[in-house]
Amino acid sequence: MLHTMLHMKSHMKKVWKTAALASAAMALAGCQLIEEEAWTPREDAAISIDRKGKITEYLSEALDQPYYSFDELKSMLDEEVSEYNARHGEGSVAVELAEEEEGRVNLTISYASGEDYASFNNIEFYYGSMINAQLEGYLFDGSFKEIRDGVVVDEEVDGSEVFQDMSDTVVIVRAPLEVKVPGKVSFTSSNAGVIRSDAVVASGAEEDGAVSVVSGDGQEDPNRVYIIFEED
């Protein structure tokens, strides 16, 4: 289907003070810094998770096949959403935007919960506590990266270290996917890249091509990505 689609207060105060006292060029730089705080998806497939667990999905895909049109795809999507909501409750899934622009289809779809996102798209997705993730069979045996304020501070962290703070939340997704979380990322599995303190690109690949993420049956799974973060 078509789917196959913020830091320290003291620092910010410094920025504002500098911008107010500096030249116009420095003021412009200050404006750019502020603008960077507004997250915009960079990848063709991305999701944003809010504090209540609502998922907003952003998809962009080239409309390059001669055997379907935008109207047909939109009609098919609307029908699937209608059928899903009839079974799971009105508002479980909603198409917020559907447009054709410069030969591409752009979609914004909202999901009332992570369960709706996973079920509607028939895709693996977990959002919740570290403990419950383990209880559901997710292993943290692979290699992880430690992240601080959007910067990788350690490229090789054992899974046992990830569990030192059980109050953290984990998102488990299938790559490729950009993910914006409601908090600061502290660890990711090694098959992900950090964009900023609250956003990750789940690439499903490591720089050396190795696979370190292990699935529940003990098999290597390069497309399963773990994102551990501290909620706001």
Same domain flag for 74 and 137: no
pTM: 0.80
Tell me the C-alpha distance between 136 and 131, whole Å: 9
Same domain flag for 114 and 183: no
Same domain flag for 104 and 166: no
Same domain flag for 149 and 201: yes
Same domain flag for 223 and 208: yes
Contacts of 172 (CB under 8 A, 6+ apart): 124, 125, 126, 127, 133, 138, 224, 225, 226, 227
User: Is 80 exceeded by the pLDDT of residue 150?
Assistant: yes
Q: How many domains does the chain have?
A: 2
- 28 token code pair: 């412009």
Residue 100 falls inside a structural domain? yes
Residue 175 falls inside a structural domain? yes
Torsion-angle region of residue 164: left (phi > 0), alpha (psi -120 to 50) or beta?
alpha
Question: Of the segments 50-59, 138-147, 152-161, 204-213, which one has the largest average pLDDT value?
Answer: 50-59
Same domain flag for 109 and 131: no
- From 100, 121, 142, the end of a domain falls on 121
CA proximity to 135, closest of 170, 111, 165: 170
Helices (H), ranges, 151-197: 159-162
DSSP string spanning 143-158?
A: EEEEEETTEEEEEEEE
Please give the residue that has the higher pLDDT: either 159 or 22: 159
| Segment 218-228, tens digit of pLDDT | 556 889 999 99
CATH number at residue 64: 3.30.70
Tell me the C-alpha distance between 46 and 117, whole Å: 12
Please give the residue that has the higher pLDDT: either 33 or 224: 224
Show the domain range for 218.
126-231
- 10 token code pair: 């003291």
- From 77, 96, 121, the end of a domain falls on 121
Same domain flag for 101 and 144: no
Residue 2 falls inside a structural domain? no
Q: Is 143 within 8 Å of 188 (Cβ atoms)?
A: no
- From 93, 121, 149, the end of a domain falls on 121
Please give the residue that has the higher pLDDT: either 85 or 8: 85
Same domain flag for 152 and 174: yes
- The DSSP symbol for 32 reads H
Residue 61 falls inside a structural domain? yes
Same domain flag for 137 and 226: yes
Query: What pLDDT is recorded for position 63?
Result: 86
Tell me the C-alpha distance between 229 and 147, whole Å: 9
